[in-house]
Structure 1
Amino acid sequence: MSAQQGRQLKLGAILEGVATDHSTWRDPALPGDASIDINWYIENARLAEASKFDFVFIVDSPFITPDTAPHFLNRLEPLTLLSALAVSTSKIGLVGTLTTSYWEPYNVARQFGSLDLISRGRAGWNVVTTGLEGAARNYSREDHFEHSLRYRRAREFVDVVQGLWDSYEDDAFPRDKVSGVFLDKSKQHALNHKGEFFSVAGPLALSRSAQGQPVLFQAGVSEEGRNFGAHIAEATFAGAESFEESREYYADLKARAAALGRDPDLIKVLPGLAPIIADTDEEAKAIEEARRGAFDLEKLLVQLGRLFNYHDFRQYPLDEPFPDVSGLTLNSYKGHAERVIRIAREEKLTLRAAAHRFGLWRTEFVGSPKTIADSIEHWFTGHAADGFILRVARPQDFALFREKVVPLLQQRGLFRKDYDHSTLRGHLGLPVPENRWTRAARLNLAAAE
C-alpha cells in the first residue's frame, strides 16, 4: 500500500494562550494570563492528547511593539514550555518554533535534541527565518538579514543541525560495566563543518532519540520559502484562505519536492484551522458575524501592518483603494505581504476591506459539527491538505471540536481512534532517518562485497 492509499488525517493544535488576535482574550472563559500559565498549556495539551491529536504547536517571534496582539506580548519561550509538556504528556508530539537567523546551530541541535530525548521521540522543530525586521535590534544587529540571504543561511543552518544530530551512531554506547567500555569511540563522529555562514566542529554531546531526529516543520509561502520547504520540510504549517489556494500550494510544494528526488507523500501539508462551530449552520454564521463585528478596526489595521513589519496603515484613508506599499522593502513576511498586495489589486479592495480580509483569521469552516467534518473531508480527499493545525484559545471552541467534530472524523475512518505509535514520526507516518555514518558504512560494505 502506498503512502497516499493509506492516508490518515493529521491534526495539530496551536496553543495560543490569550490568542494572536485582539479580541479573543476577552472571552470570559479564557484566563487572562493563559499565555504564561503552564497549567493552561498542560491542561490543553492533555485534552489534545485525549483526542489523539498528532502534536501541539508553539509559535514564536522575537520582536514586539506596544500594539502587538495579546499572546505575543507576554508568552513563554517554546523550548522551556515544551520540556514541561514533555513530562506532562506521554504520546502527543511537541513542535516548537525557533529562528535560524538569530541562533547558532550547535545550540539549536542541543536544545531540540534534548527535548527529543526528554519526550522519548516526540519533538518537532518549526524552522523559521524570522519575518519581523525589528528582531535584528534584539540581537545586536542594525539590519535584518535580506530575505533571500536568510533562506540561504537557513539551508546551511539546518544541514549543520542535522549533521550534529548524527554525532553518535545508534549503538555507540555499549555501557558495559564488566569491561568498563562506556563508549565505542568508532561510533562517535565530529562534523567538521566549514561553510558560507557557519564553522562547527562537533560532535554534539547527545545521542539520538527513538525517532532518530526531530521532525522538521516549515511555513514559508514565498518563492524562497517554498523552495526551502521542498528541500527540508517534513510538515508545513500552510496559510491558505480557500480550498483552491490551498490545493495550489499543496500541488506546488509536492511537485518541487519530487523534482528534488524526495517522496512528496512524506511532506505533510497542514493549513491552519479556526472553525466556528454551533448546533446549526445558521447559529454558527450568527456567531461569526458577531465576532467580526466585535473587532476594533484600528487593531485590524495593526494586524495587517504586522505582515509589513508593523507598517502603520492607520495613516491612509479607509475607503480609498488599498495603498501602494510596493515601495516597502517587503523583507518581513514577504510571501504573505506580496499575497495581500496581489489580492488587493486584483479584487480592487479598499483599505477597510483589506483590513477585514487580512487582519483576521479567515475560515471556510463555519457551521454545525457535520458541516465542519464535511469541509475537512473535502479538503483532505481533494488534496488541499493532509490535515490541519487547529487554533486553541477559546475553551468552548476547542471543546466543540474535540467532542463533536473529531468523533465524526473517526466514524468516517479519516482519523485515528487511538495512537499506534509513541513518536511524532510514527504519528505522521514518517520514517526514522538512518544515521548518516551508519548508512555510509553500510554502503561501503556493500560496495566492497
Structure 2
Amino acid sequence: MTARRVVITGIGVLAPGGIGTKDFWSLLSEGRTATQAITLFDPAPFRSRVAAQAAFDPEEHGLGPQEVRRMDRAAQFAVVTARGALADSGLDRGAHPPHRIGVTLGSAVGASMTLDQEYRVVSDGGRLEHVSHEYAPRHLYNAFVPSSFAAETAWAVAAEGPTTVVSTGCTSGIDAVGHAVELIRDGSADVMIAGATDAPISPITLACFDAIKATTPRNDDPAHASRPFDGTRNGFVLGEGAALFVLEELQAARRRGAHIYAEIAGYAQRCNAFHMTGLRPDGAEMATAIDAALAEARTNPTDIDYVSAHGSGTKQNDRHETAALKKSLGDHAYRVPVSSIKSMVGHSLGAIGSIEIAACALAMENHVVPPTANLHTPDPECDLDYVPLTARDWRTDTVLTVGSGFGGFQSAMVLTRPGRTAA
C-alpha cells in the first residue's frame, strides 16, 4: 500500500514584527529584526531585559472580550493563526466530516503568562503565604492544562477529530506538525490543523532563564542582541508567537485545486538521554534525527538546498548544530546555505519550530533564503555558510529544518517542492 503523502495548503503565522505571511516574509527577506526592550511588564529586576514581542491586539483579530478573558495569550495566538491558516487554504470544511478534521498543537510552557499574572493576584503580590482562591477567575483551571489550547483551537475550527497537545520543549513546533503528518498518513484524519504557540515573555520565564544565564544580557542594543553563530554572542533572545498549518493528503489537495506550499516528506525525533540542558559537542543525536528524516523522505544529503537552523545564539547549541550538519550532510554541509531566523524574531520556545516551518515554506515559494541577522564576527568553530546579514536568491526545492530542546530533544523535518519525485 502506498503511503499517503501530506502537504501544506494553508499557513497562519503570528510572529514578532509580522502578523500574516506577507508581513512575516517581508521582515525575514529584508533582514530586519523585531527584538526590542521588553514592554509587556517592567523588566528592571532581571538580567536579560530584551525580547521579541508581537504587536498583537486580540480584538483587532476577531476575538471578543469573553474569549480574551478566558484564553491565555498563547491560546489567543493559536486561535487567530488557525483561522488564518484555514482562510489561506480555501478549504471547504463542509467537504469533510468534522470527525475527519483534527488539531495537533505544540507548546513548551503552556499558559505561563496567565499563571504568572494570576499568582500575583491571588497572593496579593507575593505577600500571602496561603493564596486566596476568592480572587481567582473561574477559568483559571484552563491555564493549568495546556490541552485547553488544543480544545480552544478545535472549537474555533469545528474540528472533532484527533486533538492533542505536544510538549517537547523547543522542538514542540516541529514535533506537533510531524505527529499530525503521521495521523494523516495512517488514515486517522483527512485534514489536520497543526502547529505551535507560546507566549513566554513573563517574569517567571525571564527569571528561569536568568538563573542559568541562557538569555543575553545585551540590554543596551536590543536590535542586535540575537547573534546566532557570531563569535560575540552571549545568549538567546526570548520571543513569542505561533504558526499553524492546514495539512492535507496530496491527491485530495490536488483534486480541489488547492495551492500547495510544500510536501512534508520526512520527519524524525530523537532524544540524547544525556542532560536536561547540556549537549554533546559532536552533535551525534541531532545528526541521527537528520539521517532518519532524510531516509524517510528518500532524499540524499546533496539534495538539500537550504537548512533552517535551530541557531539559538548560545555557543553550546551553535557548535553542536554545526557538528551535526557536518556529520549528516558531509562535504555538502559546506555548500548549502544555513540560516537562523531567531536572529530576527527571537526564540519563542515551543512555537519557533512551526514558525521556522512557515519560513521554510515561504523560502521555497519565493526561492529566497532568509539571512542570519547580526552575524558580523563569525565564530571560527562555526564555519558553514550562515547567510550573514542579507537574504539570498537561491533555488530551494528541498529544505531541512531542525530543532533542539531542553530535555535532550532533537528533531528534523524535510520539506520538498510539490511534484518532486522521491529518489
- Tell me the TM-score normalized by structure 1: 0.27
Structure with more relative contact order (C-alpha pairs < 8 Å, separation 6 or more): 2
The answer to which structure has the higher strand fraction is: 2
- Tell me the TM-score normalized by structure 2: 0.28
The answer to which structure has the higher helix fraction is: 1
